[in-house]
Structure 1
C-alpha cells in the first residue's frame, strides 16, 4: 500500500453512517480528499448537502468542496431512509450551520473533472445510490478507464437485503442508475467495481460499549467533547432503530467500511463475478445478481467483497476518531 496520500472523491447521501465514513476519511493519512459529492438517498439532496458540510466542519475540514448532485433518482421515485437516520439524517445529533457554502459546481462535472485531472490515480467511492456516478458515466464513457479504483457500498450477494428480502437500500433506491454503473465498469481497460455489500458490512458493527470506550479515550482532547457528543447522539438514534427492529442496540458500519476498503483493499477478500441489477422484477427490483459460474458468458465486472477483517477495520476506525479528537485531520 502506498505511503503517499491518494486523491479520492467520495459520493454520499449523508445519513449517520455516511457521516462516520466522512469523519474516517478526514482522519486517514492515506486520503487526499479532493471533494465530496452529494446525492438524494437517505435524505433529500439539500439535507445530504447540509449534513456533509456540517460533518466536514466538525472534522476541521470545512475547506473541502462539497458538490451537490442529483436531486432525484433515474428510476421511479423511491422512499428515503429517514426512519433509519432520523428526520435530519443525523439521528439525534445537532450540528451548527456550516460556515462554508456548497460549491456551485455540479457533482457530475466535478467527478468527471477529477477523473481527468488525476487520470489513473483517482479513487472514487460511492456510499449512497449510484445516480451521480451513472450520470458521470453517461457524460464521460471513459470514466472507468480514468479511475484507479471504484468502491461502492451497495448490494446483497449472498445475504438478504435490508429494504426488501432481495435488495440493499443504495441499489434499490435507484436500480436504473446501478445497472448503468455495473455495466459500465469492468470492461477491457477499465477499473472493476469493488462492491462492499451487506455480506461484509453486517460483520462490522459497534455498540454503546465501544462508544463509551471512545468517549473515555477522547476525554480532554481538543475536539474530544464535540466529536464524542456527535457520535453519541447520532448513534443513539440508530441503536434505538436497531433495537426496535432486531432486538439489539448496535450500529452497522456500512459506509465507513467502504471508505476503509477504498484506502486499504486488504481489509476484504473479494471474489470476481459478472454482476447485474434487477430493474423490473415484481418482488426483486434492486437485487444485485452475481453470476458466479459464468453462465451468462459475460466478462466479470465486479470484485465482490465476501469476507472482511472486521476487527482490524473497527480498530482503524476508532484510531481515526481519536486522531480527530486530537485535532489531527488531513
Structure 2
C-alpha cells in the first residue's frame, strides 16, 4: 500500500483522538501535519491533546500548528460535558509535542505548495474554521488540496445540538458555508453515516487486548466515552469515520447532493438544507457499521 499524504485538522475531543490514533497507526496514511482549533473545548487544550497523541506515537517530527480560537463571527459551543474538562475524559497521555509558531492557515498553505497539486488530502474532524481561513488567505493553496473529507452535518438524522443541526457545522456555520461553496473535492460524512459505526464495551475489550500502545490507548479512550453514558450499550465513532472513509469509501455509500448551510441564529444554525440551488458535495448517507468498526480495530493493530 502506498501511503496517502494527509493533513489533519482537529479539535480533540474523544472521537477526534480516536481518529488521530487511527491515522498514526495505519500504514496507508503519511501524516504531513496536524492543525488544531477550538471546538469541543478551548484551543490551548485541543492543541495540547493533539500534541500528546503525537508524543504517544513517538511522532515529534509531525508539525503541529494551532489555529482558530473561536468561530468566524459568533460564540462557540462548549462540549466539556461530553469530553471532560481536559477533552479526553481524564485519559492519561505523555507530555505533548508543543505547537510550532505560525498560524494553522499559513502552515497549511506552505505545506500544500511544497507538493504536487492534488496529492495531499485534508481530514477535517472539527469545525471548518481553519479551512475557511485558508480559502480566504491563500485560495491558490486551497485549490491544491486533493480531497477534503469532513465529519459534519446531518441530512435525515436528528441533530446533536439542534433538531437538525450537528455540532461541527453549528459551531461555525459561516465557515461551513464558505467551504461548501468553494468548489473543493468535498466529501461530507454526516450523522447519517457516523451513527451507524458504533463501539461497544466489547470494542474496549478488543482494543485493550492488542499489543500496540496506540490500540490500548484507544481502548481507554473508548472506555472514557462510556462514562457519561453508563446505561448505553454502544457509542458512535463520529470522527474515525473520516479516515475510514478514505481507506474504504465502499463502506460509506454516498450521493451527490446540492446543499446550503443555514446561517440563522438559534437551533437551526448550521443545518444542511438539500436545495437544487445549493453547492454540490459528495455525502455519505449510510455506513456498513460492522465492517467499518472491524476496520477501525484492525487499523490500530
| Superposition TM-score tier, normalisation by shorter sequence | over 0.9
Deviation at 1:22, TM superposition (A): 0.5
Aligned partner of 1:250 in structure 2 is 234
- Per-residue deviation, residues 204-253 of structure 1 (Å, max 9, x unmatched): 0111111112223x2xx3x44x752x33443233213234xxx4142211
Q: Is 1:196 aligned with 2:196?
A: no
Contact residue 86 and residue 92 of structure 1 kept, 8 A: yes
Distance 1:237 1:27 in 2: 20
Aligned length: 300
Residue 116 of structure 1: aligned partner: 113
3-state SS, counterpart of residue 148 of structure 1: strand
Q: Is the Cα contact below 8 Å between 1:144 and 1:184 reproduced in 2?
A: no
* Segment of structure 1 superposing worse, 52-61 or 167-176: 52-61
Partner of 2:202: 209
Q: Give the 4+ runs in structure 1 shifted more than 6 A.
A: none
- Aligned pair partner of 1:302 in 276, 281, 284: 281
Distance in 1 between residues matched to 2:187 and 2:220, nearest whole Å: 31
Residue 269 of structure 1, CA deviation: 1.3
Counterpart contact for 1:91–1:233, Cα < 8 Å: no
Task: Work out the CA distance in 1 between the residues paired with 2:219 and 2:22.
Answer: 16
The answer to whether the 8 Å contact 2:124/2:149 transfers is: yes
Structure 2 segments unaligned to the other structure (5+ residues): none
Q: How much has 1:133 moved relative to structure 2?
A: 0.3
CA gap of 1:84–1:135, structure 2 versus 1, over 3 A, is: same
- Structure 2 CA distance for partners of 1:4 and 1:172, relative to 1, 3 Å: same
In structure 1, stretches of 5+ residues that fail to align are: 186-190, 323-330
Q: Deviations over 1:107-144 (max 9, x none)?
A: 10111122222311110110001010000000122345
Q: CA RMSD in A?
A: 1.7
Deviations 1:4-52 (A, max 9, x none): 2121100000111111101000112111100000000001111000000
Query: Which residue is 1:234 aligned to?
Result: 221
**Alpha-carbon distance in 1 for matches of 2:291, 2:267:** 37
Q: 1:198 to 1:4 in 2, by over 3 A?
A: same
- Mapping of 1:56-95 within 5 angstroms? 56-95=54-93
Structure 1: how far apart are the matches of 2:61 and 2:251? 29
Structure 2 match to 1:261 = 245
1:24 counterpart SS class: helix
